[in-house]
Amino acid sequence: MKFTALQIATHISGKIEGDETIVVNGFSKIEEGKEGYISFLANPKYEDHLYSTNASIVVVSNMLELKEPVKPTLIRVSDPYASFAKLMRHYQHLLSTNMAGIEQPSFIHPTATIGKDVYIAAFSYIGENAVVGDNVKVYPHTYIGNCAKIGNHSTIFAGVKIYHNCVIGNHVLIHAGSVIGGDGFGFAPQTDGIYKKVPQIGNVVIEDFVEIGANVCVDRATMGSTIIRKGTKLDNLVQIAHNVEIGENTVVAAQAGISGSTKIGKHVTIGGQAGIVGHIHIADGTRINGQSGVSKSIREENVTVTGTPAFEFSAAMRSQAVIRKLPELEKKIKELEALLEILLKEKEELSS
């Protein structure tokens, strides 16, 4: 697909400086730009690349003052990063609209409901009484279980498994290999030392505009629902246990794990490899740094925690500063102890 500078500027409400007829057909980073590609400059530290790039078009800020002439056509906007992301979303949408219809071989149960303008790839399975909404795209080797529901404009990439009774909202993206609705990790210890499985009869509910990365596991509830609220983004390799609830517009980075029945608030940020124990509450706006271990509820909103066990960020930084000085403090204590011993001996000699 090819686009002119004028078409691009119109789409992102930008102002053109240069040739409005110049054509591009791809995207690149500014330092790797080449003819026929469009790039952007949002971070001032990359400005030097603007004067050497071979990109045909560069999206820049309205506030940028040029230090020297540039070769590419510029499109000025208020927010280059957001505008470039909008362009890429539009491009991705145009690519995906070419995919439509039901490929064979695939299995769709006669009782399943299939919406309009769907794409269902070969080797997909759609179970009894499942519902697939309008403009949904289901990629190869995907399993959609009995009575599962997928809302309009959602995309289910290759190899995703959506178990029975799970509910997926509108405009949801689930990337390859993720499993939605596998059994929660529930086992009851018996007197003879074995573990007996606790039936997991709930489901998973994923609300609108959620994006789930590759190889994510969201376990079904023991009873009720595991819930991922509107606008939440999960990175690759995230584990969400049974009966967890994640609030709106929360982001969870790769390899983080959230244990059962924990309630995460809105606008929470969870760093990579963080671990959160079960049955606690995390307040709205909390920021949990990577590799932190959260072992108790966080009640105060908009705080940052770090470490294992995780505690308030500034206090943790002070503690780390003290720890770094421990060898020096140990030396001073030994010097003080030696001095104290001398003073005590002098006192004894005086008293005698």
Does the structure show a pLDDT above 90 at 325?
A: no
Looking at the structure of the chain, the number of domains it has is 2
Q: What is the pLDDT of residue 311?
A: 67
Q: What is the pLDDT of residue 97?
A: 64
- What percentage of the chain has pLDDT greater than the value 90? 85
When pLDDT is cut at 50, 70 and 90, the band that residue 321 belongs to is confident
The rounded distance, in Å, linking the Cα atoms of 84 and 62 is 14
Q: Which of 75, 96, 117 is the last residue of a domain?
A: 96
Question: Which domain does 195 fall in, by range?
Answer: 101-314
Looking up tokens 């695939």 gives 106
Tell me whether residue 333 is in a domain: no
Section 40-56 average pLDDT: 95
Tell me whether residue 339 is in a domain: no
Q: What is the pLDDT of residue 95?
A: 75
Residue range 238-278, pLDDT digits in tens: 999 999 999 999 999 999 999 999 999 999 999 999 999 99
Q: Which one, of 295, 244, 235, 245, lies nearest residue 266 by Cα?
A: 245
Section 141-155 average pLDDT: 98
Domain holding 69: CATH number? 3.40.1390.10
Section 123-138 average pLDDT: 97
Q: What is the pLDDT of residue 222?
A: 97
Does the structure show a pLDDT above 90 at 350?
A: no
Residue range 65-87, pLDDT digits in tens: 999 999 999 999 999 999 999 99
Tell me whether residue 122 is in a domain: yes
Whether 280 and 261 have beta carbons less than 8 Å apart is answered as: no
Do 59 and 138 sit in the same domain of this protein? no
Domain holding 106: CATH number? 2.160.10.10
Do 128 and 42 sit in the same domain of this protein? no
Tell me whether residue 336 is in a domain: no
Catalytic residue numbers? 242
Residues 123-137 as b/e (b if ≥16 CB within 10 A, e otherwise) read bbbbbeebbbbebbb
Tell me the pTM: 0.79
